[in-house]
Amino acid sequence: MSGLRRVTGRQVVELPDAELATLRAGYRAVLLDVGTGDGKHAVHTARQRPDWLVVGLDANRDNMRRAARRAAANPARGGLPNLLFVWAAAEQLPAALTGVAELHVLMPWGSLLRGLLGVDGQILATLRAACAPGAGFLVTLNLHAWRPPVPEVGGVAEPTPQWALDDLGATYARHGWQLTGAHYADAAQVEALGTSWSRRLRASRDRFDVLALTGTMGDAGSRGSGQPGGREGG
Ligand SMILES: C[S@@+](CC[C@H](N)C(=O)[O-])C[C@H]1O[C@@H](n2cnc3c(N)ncnc32)[C@H](O)[C@@H]1O
């Protein structure tokens, strides 16, 4: 698919490739938030990084409507010119979405969760193709998906940092993802993501709810900072 289906509220409009290119030229890099849901994390990130173009993408357009309408408003009324919401599935990303410098996938469910667990390699390959070499990635897994396990986890046991680094890391590597970090997120880290899950997930010392995975795409250091939260990019 060429062009982006941009959600601006109730409406969905086609954003031609040339307009996307013009928009991109005004920013230092692109951050893609896949499975953005209600878009709170994308809004939070766009506010934190006014010099980045943030793209929140989801297969379901309904949950993003509210954030999309506000983002598309006049900046004087709280609009965010550096934030786009796009209606697309991770399996079929718009062809125009290339050279992404940082990828976030927070609390995936459904086919997106299957993809990030490597149960279905197509999503890993598609997301890798949208990113620039050296792009940083941040994936956060909601461990409640294993308590009890939802069908999408496909027989994968509840992930631990060690399993992620050893087993999942090997699967990721086959698709060009270099997984370099895996840790349980504490309450402050979950809160800092700014997603609407923050209130629902209360990581504690006794029971961890979120596993954070970080790394880079392809050859580390060739483009971008390679670190989610970094301020450089391609
Ligand atoms: C639990 S919500 C998380 C939303 C948001 N990232 C957050 O942390 O608040 C998971 C989202 O993934 C989206 N999703 C699931 N499969 C997808 C796919 N294949 N492509 C794009 N989005 C997908 C769902 O529509 C849903 O909005």
The owner of tokens 């976030």 is: 104
Q: Produce one character per residue of 50-70: b if its CB has 16 or more CB atoms within 10 Å, e if not.
A: eebbbbbbbeebeebbebbbb
Residue at 30: amino acid letter? V
Residue at 208: amino acid letter? F
Check if the beta carbon of residue 234 is closer than 8 Å to that of residue 29: yes
pLDDT of residue 2: 57
Q: How far is the CA of 113 from the centre of ligand 1 (A)?
A: 8
For residue 90, which atom of ligand 1 is closest to its CA? 20
Check if the beta carbon of residue 3 is closer than 8 Å to that of residue 17: yes
The owner of tokens 């250091």 is: 221
Q: Say if residue 213 is exposed, middle or buried (CB neighbours under 10 Å; 0-12, 13-18, 19+).
A: buried
Residue ranges in the chain modelled with pLDDT below 50: 1, 220-227, 229-234
Q: Which CATH number fits domain 1-97: 3.40.50.1100, 3.30.300.30, 3.40.50.150, 2.60.40.10?
A: 3.40.50.150
Residue of 4, 112, 127, 140 to test ligand 1 pocket, by largest number of atoms within 8 Å of CB: 112
- Alpha carbon of 162 to those of 60, 152, 159, 214: distances in Å? 33, 21, 8, 13
pLDDT digits (tens, 9 = 90+) for 204-224: 556 779 999 999 999 533 333
Q: Say if residue 176 is exposed, middle or buried (CB neighbours under 10 Å; 0-12, 13-18, 19+).
A: middle
Ligand 1, atom 7: closest residue by C-alpha: 195
Residue of 55, 12, 8 lying closest to 35 (CA atoms): 55
Domain with CATH 3.40.50.150 in the chain: 1-97, 103-225
Q: Does domain 103-225 have CATH number 3.40.50.150?
A: yes
Residue of 23, 1, 217 lying closest to 104 (CA atoms): 217
pLDDT of residue 200: 72
pLDDT digits (tens, 9 = 90+) for 14-44: 999 999 999 999 999 999 999 999 999 999 9
Q: What is the pTM of this model?
A: 0.92
pLDDT of residue 197: 78
pLDDT of residue 106: 97
